[in-house]
Each structure stands twice: as structure tokens, then as C-alpha cells.
Structure 1
Amino acid sequence: MFGSHAATALALVDSYGALAVFVVFALEGALVGKVLPARTLFVAAVVAVGVEAVAVLPVFAAAVIGATVGQSAIFAAVRRFDVDPTSLPLVPVGDGGLDGAGRWFDRWGLPAVAASNAVPGTRGWLAVPTANASSVSAPRFAAASLVGSAAYVGALAAIGVAVALGFGGALGLLGAEALATLAAL
């Protein structure tokens, strides 16, 4: 199962580059479900572009900005149009999750938005209760979302670099002939 996701992720990155990362993270941020696991796509993108900071930076920026745009879209939809994203079957957040997220926001405020975005599994959940039950402005929400998403994506980048270096080290052990064979594939 992981192999097919990784192959699809690499194909998307090969064809569309950082744009594919942006779209998948925006969809994840907007809570519309997992079209493709964002973590797999990001790590595959880092492995594909290499470990140099200049190569990883556009992928990093696309993921952080995509997640922030998606979460800001949900925030705006709830605040301005009274949309209930949990009524959609694509949104994997139930009422219990929203109640817990709302209590977390009530206790900690905007730092809870940043913290929840840095933790897999809770990313984006605070967009709905924050929009419903607070006077937080959209720019302040977006800033908190951006901080948490940057921490999350930074951790993913470290994993991607470790995987890329691991592949490089393993391929180096194979020798030049094996590398030429793999390159021909």
C-alpha cells in the first residue's frame, strides 16, 4: 500500500513539482479528506529534489502555504457563509473532535491553533471552532496556522532529508554499476 502511494507521489512531483505539494496540502488544510497522504507526498518530493536547502525550500514553502490557504479557506467559509464542513462525508472530523478542539482553543487561544497544526492527526481541526466561537481575525488565524504548519513541515523535511540520505548511502554501497543500472530504469 505504501509503495503505490509513494509511486503516485513521485509521479505527481515529477510532473507538477511543488504545485502538486501545494494542492495536496491545501486540500488537507481545508479538511476535505486525504486525496493522497500529504506526508507521503512531501517526503517523496524531498527525496526527489535532493537534500540541498535550495532544492527543498520551494517544496517546503508550497506545503506550508498550501496548508495555510486551505485552513484559511475553511475559517472564512465557516465565519462568512456559516458552512458546516463536518456535514460533508469527505471531512474526517466528528462532533466530538470539534468539541475537544473548541475546549482546547477556549483554554489556550491562538497558540492552540499553532500547536494543533504541528501535530499529525489534529491539523486544521481548530479552524471551525475558532471561526464559530471567537473574535479572532482571519489574518491572526492565518498567522497561527502558518507557524504550526511550518513546524510540522519542518519535521517532515527532516524526515525526507534523512530518507534521501539513507537512500544515497545505500546506493553508494551498491557501487557505480548498480547506480548506472538504476539510472537506466
Structure 2
Amino acid sequence: MFDLDVATALALVEGYGAVAVFAVFALEGALVGKVLPARTLFVTAVVAVGVEAIAVLPVFAAAVIGATVGQSVVFVAVRRFDVDPASLPLVPIGEGGLDGATRWFDRWGLPAVAASNAVPGTRGWLAVPTANASSVSAPRFAAASLVGSAAYVGALLAVGVAVALGIGGAADLLGPELAAAL
């Protein structure tokens, strides 16, 4: 929908910090499509704040909690209000995708929710069949979503740290004059 380049992502992070990361991951978790590329924003946020644990922790927490909140909203909307997200034009899930997600959940249960959240492209898809076809409670669904989202964001964190260290290492190799220009 929107093109997000690194400069825009950096501006969002500088202006709004972890709140921007939370909002984008919540929208992604709520299956609202790719309004803004969450991965790009997250890696940019890690590069912007640095690789120290105390600086990265709020960004990590915002992403994991945002994704979990977004998926929990879908779960509750389907379960309590009989919302059909697949009928909305913003949600990129067709009936075939829902059938496949239902088979995953029928076979593996809640571990499938966690596993699907750790894999790009399938994140959040099990919220609908889990809400429709099971007796899983919202807190148990949220816990499984949280575990998978933490694994996914942890992998993104490793990428962000590698990029941040790579930029720093490249700056060191270029010398002080060129490093200052970066």
C-alpha cells in the first residue's frame, strides 16, 4: 500500500520511538495487510537506537506486544462479534488460506499458532480458524501468539544487530573522514 524507505522508517522511529513500532506490528498482527513493512521499520529502529540491550529492549517489547495485541483483536472480533476478516479488502487472506490454516490448527493445536507466528508470510493467519473452530480461550491464544511473535522478532533483532554492527564496521574501515560523513 505505502512504500516505506529507510529514511521514512528512521523518521518514524526518531519521532515516535517504540510507539511507531508497536502501531505497525499491531496493524500487521490484525491482518490489515502490509500498510507499512514491519520488518523494515524494526531493523531501522534497532540500527537507530544501537545494539545495547537497554536501548533495544523497548523496541523488541513494542514489536512483540503489538503483534500479540493485533492478533488478539482479530481473535476476539471473530469469536465474540462474528467478524469475517477474509471478507474485508484490507485483509490479504482468501478462503484457500483459511482452509490451510484450519488444517494446521486441527492437526497441531496451539503450537501451530506459535509456529506460524515465527514464520514470515503465515503470521497471524491462525487467529481466525482458532477462534472459529476451537474452544481455546483468548488468554491461551494470546500466550501462543506471544511465543511465536517473540521468536520472529528475535530473528529480526539478530538481523538488526548485524546490520548495525556492519554499518559500524564499515565506517571503521572507511576511516574517520568518511565515517564522519555517514
Identity %, equivalent residues = 86
- 1:5–1:37 contact (8 Å) kept in structure 2: no
CA deviation after TM superposition for structure 1 residue 4, in Å: 5.0
The letter for the 1-side match of 2:69 is V
Q: Distance in 1 between matches of 2:87 and 2:177?
A: 56
Q: Distance in 1 between matches of 2:141 and 2:4?
A: 35
Q: Is residue 167 from structure 1 mapped to residue 136 from structure 2 by the alignment?
A: no
- 2:4–2:36 contact (8 Å) kept in structure 1: no
Q: Distance in 1 between matches of 2:172 and 2:118?
A: 34
Q: Is residue 118 from structure 1 mapped to residue 104 from structure 2 by the alignment?
A: no
CA deviation after TM superposition for structure 1 residue 180, in Å: 2.5
- 2:117–2:124 contact (8 Å) kept in structure 1: yes
- 1:42–1:160 contact (8 Å) kept in structure 2: yes
Q: Distance in 1 between matches of 2:49 and 2:42?
A: 11
Structure-to-structure mapping, 1:70-85, within 5 angstroms? 70-85=70-85
TM-score (norm 1): 0.95
Q: Is residue 64 from structure 1 mapped to residue 64 from structure 2 by the alignment?
A: yes
Gap regions ≥5 residues in structure 2: none
Q: Distance in 2 between matches of 1:85 and 1:11?
A: 31
Alpha-carbon RMSD across the aligned residues, in angstroms, is 1.0
Gap regions ≥5 residues in structure 1: none
Q: Distance in 1 between matches of 2:4 and 2:130?
A: 36
Runs of 4+ with >2 A deviation:
179-182
CA offsets 1:38-88 (integer angstroms, 9 cap, x no match): 000000100111111111110000000000000000000000000001111
Q: Distance in 2 between matches of 1:68 and 1:124?
A: 9
User: Which SS does the other structure have where 1:136 is aligned?
Assistant: coil
- 1:105–1:112 contact (8 Å) kept in structure 2: yes
